Structure 1
Amino acid sequence: MHPVLKTSLPLLLACGAAQAAPGEPPIGKHQAEIDAIVREISPQRIQGYIEKLVSFGTRHTMSDTESPTRGIGAARRWIKSELERCGAGKLDVQFDSHLHPVATRLSKPTEIVNVVATLPGTQPASKDRIYVVSGHYDSRVTDVMNFTADAPGANDDGSGTAAVIEMACVMAKHRFDATLVFMTVAAEEQGLFGSGDWAQKAKAKQLNIAGMLNNDIIGSSHDEHGKQDATQVRLFAEGVPPVRETTPELRTLITTGGENDSITRQLARHIKDTGERYVDGFKVNIIYRRDRYLRGGDHSPFLDAGYAAVRFTEPHEDFNHQHQDLRTENGKKIGDLPEYVDPAYIAQVARVNAASLASLALAPAVPQEVKVRTAALDNGTELVWKANAEPDLAGYRIVWRDTTSPLWQGAQYVGNVTTFRLDQSKDNVLFGVQAVDKDGNVSPAVYPVPAR
């Protein structure tokens, strides 16, 4: 058996593609279809989408819904028409709405409308597995209740909305095993009402949301001092969820040292590996938090519903261009204006998103019922799992890392089996099991629980 390898996973995967075992799929090799999607993401189109969103003056959740040119109503109708235009015959584009009662940040009952574009999966065994990507299209100024003042929202969150539109338009030209949902949501600034309602309904319907990617404030490559950094993005990923009562599953995770192996952290590892492989020179920094310090976003309701969900945000926020009344102070413009966003940077973040979504939607589902046999004291490790149902499944891969390492360090493809023994001690390393298809697409890893 292979020892624990002291190398990064991307390097390991690249080597693995060249030194594949007999019958091993080309794991780590670039998929031509994903490369094509990444190449097609356009900064110019993203800039055009942001300028159009800004042109509606304000997109405050309580702003005008009847005007054809101003307010949130005009904005959502344009988003829907654009998605219908570019995804004709491929995307199912719908308004998803509910009437929200008066709340702390809503002075009147307000219809909250999400724009949801669905690209159905084509593989019968995978089409019910869903990956969601979102941005919020509402905007605000300093006073969160001010729904009449101009609120351009170019970065927060015109950037995320533009990225989602661009991804939907590009990816609608391709076919995926699993289903992709491209969603622009409303009322993020008023209390996550759009995403919250959608996540609650998904949970009630028992939808299989296998991953949710939220893009919020991904528009600027400059920090508050003007220094540019267009080479990285933050990816916020929760570990142990903040629950009032510890469930048996959570207790097992903590007891076995797997507090860094939640389904969200596994999703984040997959995104980092895939994004950095397909987007040259761009780094995905996993941040071990649900969100920025004591703040939140549209992935939070999905986490609360028990789904794996992460948030993309630029590396350095400039608060002069976020949640601000438009004004000039000491010769400096204040406000979330389009001149302060960097479409080329947004495109890089969108490419990471798109590559990750494509990889996830082409790969098999994660293995189920992954366990470590613990009946006897043993310095080796025997893993067992339930067989996947996909017709293009090739087999499984076991990954491992030191208990102090954030990323997988070693991997071994083990073929189409449902049990495998390694001569490595479960006392010293952390394991995961991934499903692999015949093209080399790999699922996120699953942390094994004890089999009593």
Structure 2
Amino acid sequence: MVSQALLLLLGTATTLASELSFPPPTTLASNGYANWGAGTWPPASVGVPLVPQTADSEILSLISQIDPARMEHTIRTLVNFGTRHTASTTTSLTRGIGAARKWLLKEMQEYAKPANGMIKVSMPCYFQPAEPENGLPIGVDICNVQAEIKGTVDPNRTIVYTGHYDSRRINGSDYENDAPGADDNASAVSIALEMVRILGLSVAKNQPAASIIISAVAGEEQGLYGSTFLANTLKNASVNVEADFNNDIVGTGSNAPFNKLNQHTIRIFSGGTDILDLPEATIDEIITTGYQDDTPSRNLARFIQEVNAGAAHTTEMEVAILYKTDRFDRGGDHEPFLEVGFPAVRFTESNENFFHQHQDPREENGVVFGDNIEFVDFDYTARVGKVNMLGMLSMANAPDLPKNFTYVPLYGFLASDEQAPVASLDNVVMFNWNTEPKDPLLDHFEIVWRSMSSQQWTHTLDVGTVSTATLDISRDNAVFGLRAVGKDGKKSPAVLALPDSF
């Protein structure tokens, strides 16, 4: 039992700390442990604390229409095709990847009908020669099934959703035997179809400002073929792809350890400077300044996490950002987008179960192996779908990303000679950016910043519609970004400042 004297001493110490304006007591994270990584420094003297942006009632209404029962129907139908191996049969009406893609095309076309032609459904294909070393023993047609919605304000600015519909066994070359692929990756395809269905009913009245492509891609398990085809097609057409939301293995949060938090958490993998399609000197500068955690993909992940936080009462999910392109020694359909310079992230369930991935369906000594439908939680997948749809619609209806956001290296720095202006010696940071051509959705810009130890933006400063700003904070102590704010309050992802010499 704690003595009265000790309680009195503790109370006195707390009072003294308050009177002397010491830092506030250590805060606790949701798990009850000390939130020691957040810190309270540098002092929050610039801007105001950032409050997560909230979605409007229209977007919340749309994401609330995601139906777990319909998603179960999609997953069950795809599993019932037996195998969807990239080289499986294309002549059967009931088995193989050919039957699967015909069914997906028919479903998307049906869901797009209420849009009165505003959703274009297609199945672009190309011939992929055999690559036995990758598990493709014969040459095949790689066909993506996708829906495209043209934006009303800037149709070239495009947000992409990808999820592969092929499946595999332990032997990646086995294209004849069953490979259910319920979680990997019929789960993500069910999200794609639900988004097309819901937007098909709404887009005729409320078309997004930017374009949206929702694609079920093929050939992921053998070589990311379909996503590479899509990313290269968009790159060659000079499409301004500002995000690829790639989903792969998003079927359950119920894997061991059985924790309720797993059932309401989705991981987002986001790459660093290793995947940037930028000149080497620019990447070196980003690394030198310690801004390697602020690549476009990681700022995309921050954006998704923030808008989800503002609508968590509807999504019933939290987003965990991982600072890596993918899991250990793994890959996915977001990588071809990264390779051509497009921001891209990967959504994957909170804790994977390898008994049910790339396994031959069987039971051994009471242990069930195989990616079977009984191991998919349709409510969980529906919640993941809400996070995706929320992020995509929020981004598509926000202003375009700010352009040419830079800082002045010699402002707030050492003097090069005695003639250096006195003002340039203040330990501050000066930013410049483009304001023309003006985005019709734009209301103002805001600078966001956070301490070097924080993963998410913590403060924001409204800088109006000017093209320059000076902040009274050392750039050594914080990370800065700029984002555009629309007339309706929707905000773009933040962009990182590069030195104005780049």
Provide the TM-score with structure 1 as the length reference.
Answer: 0.92
Distance 1:252 1:110 in 2: 44
Q: Does 1:269 align with 2:299?
A: no
Which 10-residue stretch deviates more, 209-218 or 409-418?
409-418
Counterpart position of 1:17? none
Percent of pairs identical after alignment? 38
Q: 1:44-443 maps to which residues of 2 (within 5 A)?
A: 44-88=69-113, 89-103=117-131, 104=133, 105-123=135-153, 126-172=154-200, 173-174=202-203, 175-224=207-256, 229-242=262-275, 247-280=280-313, 281-375=316-410, 376-387=424-435, 388-443=437-492
| Deviation (angstroms), 1:227 | 5.3
Q: CA deviation at 1:345?
A: 0.2
**What SS does the corresponding residue of 2:127 show, helix, strand or coil?**
strand
Q: Any stretches of 5+ residues in structure 1 without a counterpart? A: 15-27
Say which one has the larger Rg.
2
Change (3 A) 1:153 1:205: same
CA distance in 2, matches of 1:4, 1:51: 54
Secondary structure of 1:412's match?
strand
| 1:76 positional shift | 0.5
Kindly provide the CA deviation profile for residues 181-233 of structure 1, in whole angstroms up to 9, marking residues without a partner as x. 00001110111111112212222222211000110000011224555531101
What's the CA shift for 1:381?
2.0
TM-score normalized with structure 2 length: 0.83
* 1:215 partner amino acid: N
Residue identity in the other structure for 1:320: F
Specify the SS of the correspondent of 1:147.
coil
> What residue in structure 2 maps to residue 23 of structure 1?
none
Q: Cα gap change, 1:361/1:246 in structure 2, threshold over 3 Å: closer, same or farther?
A: closer
Deviates more, 1:406-415 or 1:177-186: 406-415
Q: Tell me by how many angstroms 1:332 deviates.
A: 3.0
Question: Post-superposition shift, 1:4?
Answer: 5.2
Name the residue aligned to 2:500. 451
Contact preservation (8 Å) 1:114, 1:184: yes
Measured against aligned partners, the alpha-carbon deviations of 1:249-302 in whole angstroms (never above 9, x if no partner) come to 212211222111111111010011112222334210001110000100000111
**SS state of the match for residue 404, structure 1?**
coil
CA distance in structure 1 between the partners assigned to 2:277 and 2:189 by the alignment:
33
Distance 1:166 1:423 in 2: 47
Number of residue equivalences: 433
Residues 54 and 152, structure 1, Cα contact 8 Å, conserved in 2: yes
**Partners of 2:452 and 2:74 in 1: CA distance:** 44
Displacement after TM superposition at 1:435 (Å): 0.6
Query: Where does the alignment leave 5 or more consecutive residues of structure 2 unmatched?
Result: 1-41, 411-423
Supply the distance in 2 between the matched residues of 1:309 and 1:359 (Cα, whole angstroms). 16
> Given the superposition, is the C-alpha separation of residues 82 and 5 from structure 1 closer, same or farther in structure 2, using an over 3 Å criterion?
farther
SS at match of 1:69: coil
* Cα pair 1:113 1:185 within 8 Å, conserved: yes
Q: Distance in 1 between matches of 2:277 and 2:409?
A: 30
In the superposition, relative to structure 1, how do residues 335 and 310 fare at CA in structure 2: closer, same or farther (>3 Å)?
Answer: same
